Amino acid sequence: MRFDVLTIFPELLQSFSECSLIGRAQRKELLTLCTTDLREFATDKHHTVDDEPYGGGGGMVMKAQPWIEAVRAVTELHPSPPHRILLTPQGQTLCEAKVRELANHERLLLLCGRYEAIDERVAELVVDEEISIGDYVLSGGELPAMVLIEAVSRQIPGVVGFNDSVVNDSFRKGLLDYPHYTRPEEVEGLVVPPVLRSGDHAKIDRWRQQQAESATREKRPDLWQRWQGRQR
């Protein structure tokens, strides 16, 4: 799978692309992550990509033309047509179902805005979908892009060493994850539940299911209600 990222701060993604699962996956040629500097497509000597908004108001607006030209140029870098995503608080909230849907694409092109906004004509002309990672505002789209890449890449076979880690992730089955423990058996008076040391895998599976349901009911009642509705 290929990820292309358009940004005015490509250096923000450098260490992310080289470290941990993403770096290892690239070395194994399971995915490719490429960044392109939007300023390369500015037409003036100062590489300006923003201007004052029509109608007044605070902040600067990113100009349409550099984005449009950049998206079209990056699209031509690889034969697979990209699914083009604008990271914005106005987009659909990223969730497990959306992550799995995005993982079906061979290529994603992520647009990371800055400043007050991006000229609306960019979304109208060269964007297929707008995605948000939550109901709050960040200074730019780079962190949301990294979140999306990390989440989607976990769906690619071989990226995560143990497939069970992905299958049992929180939200995968509509519930939060169950508690996890490792050695030693006791930490400051807190002991690993005996069932996990019993060797009885049927009991362990039942315990984990009960714990997942309990955690979801207590921590995320919205998810619990949704999950109960699907069980009827």
What separation in angstroms does the CA of 165 have from each of 63, 87, 158, 168, 182?
Answer: 42, 27, 12, 6, 15
Find the catalytic residue in 2, 154, 217, 220: 154
Q: Annotated catalytic residue: which of 69, 96, 101, 116?
A: 116
| Alpha helix stretches (DSSP H) within the chain | 14-18, 20-27, 64-75, 96-102, 120-126, 142-153, 163-167, 201-219, 221-231
Q: Confirm whether 232 is a catalytic residue.
A: no
Tell me, yes or no, if 169 is annotated catalytic.
yes
Which is catalytic among the residues 2, 39, 69, 89?
Answer: 89
Number of helices (H) and strands (E) in the chain: give both, helices first. Answer: 9, 10
Would you call the peptide bond into 184 cis, given omega within 30 degrees of 0 as the criterion?
yes
Question: Token pair 């940004």 is at which residue?
Answer: 7
The length of the chain is: 232
Q: DSSP assignment, residue 178? A: P
Q: Is 89 one of the annotated active-site residues of the chain?
A: yes
Q: Which amino acid is at 158?
A: G
> Which residue is catalytic, options 150, 169, 177, 213?
169
128 noted as active-site residue: no
Active-site residues, by number, are: 89, 116, 154, 169
